[in-house]
Amino acid sequence: MDVRQVKALVTGGASGLGEATVRAIVEAGGKAGIVDMDRERAEKLSAELAPSAAFAVADVTSEQDIDRAVIELKDALGGLNAVVNCAGIGGSVKIMGKDGLMSMERFNRWLQINLAGTFNVIRGTLETLTENPPNEEGERGVYVNTASIAAFDGQVGQVGYSSSKGGVVSMTLTLAREFATNGIRVMAILPGIMNTPMLSRLPDHVRARLGDQVPFPPRLGNPAEFGKLARHIIENPYLNGEFIRLDGALRMGWARK
């Protein structure tokens, strides 16, 4: 898909990897619609990039919010042909942790936002993408979902997070097959350790140690590197039904304390 024709809905588009994706698309001549719960950041970024960006405040776990956001952004951008799902939450809690047994509410929060939220946005945008006229390749749209290397290299305390991201990986081929006759592709990116606000709660020395574990380049990932990959996936029609690790060859291990 020619990036200059792209009208992308980007969830979590107000911060971190989503924001970098919005910037990568707009810098290349496309348009982006930010879907985020953070009104202040979404509004600010949208104003900076106007008229190539718009925003809608929505919670990805709410059907009504997403249905409304799709109508608003379709109207503002003049259609939608790409969706990048970046909204998500991190965090780490052991099942038998210092605050007692993990509640089902805590576990379900990861699944609700990271996994069901991704599905909800796909559900809410699919009809719109399907109604697009096909381009010369027969393509009508593309989904780029964000999983994590934790889907495969889950660390102690990440049972909820890694399960939610494993689900995002697993839906990739299933949906690519389901949408093949509609000319819609589905891909997933598995970031390693990226330097976004999600990681800003960690002390500097911990972030430096994490960066040191990366074979090459030995540093945290730059959100712009995610934006570049998301843009490439949108542009390259032969990428479909696959997931790509973006991690500088990092494979997280396990050590007995």
Question: Site for ligand NAD (CB under 6 A): which residue of 53, 77, 122, 193?
Answer: 193
**In this chain, which of 1, 12, 53, 126 binds ligand NAD, going by CB under 6 A?**
12
Binders in 85-104 for ligand NAD, by CB under 6 A: 86-90
**Sign, Cα dihedral of 245, 207, 108, 227:** negative
Q: Is 113 in the site for ligand NAD (CB under 6 A)?
A: yes
17 makes contact with ligand NAD (CB under 6 A): yes
Cβ contact 36:57 at 8 Å: yes
Smallest separation, CB 176 to ligand NAD (Å): 20
User: Could you give the residue numbers annotated as active site?
Assistant: 161
- Residue number with CB closer to ligand NAD (87 or 129): 87
Letters for 143-162 (x = contact with ligand NAD by CB under 6 A, - = none) are: ---x-x--------------
Check binding of 191 to ligand NAD (CB under 6 A): yes
199 binds ligand NAD (CB under 6 A): yes
Give least dist CB 133 to ligand NAD, A. 30
45 is an interface residue for ligand NAD by CB under 6 A: no
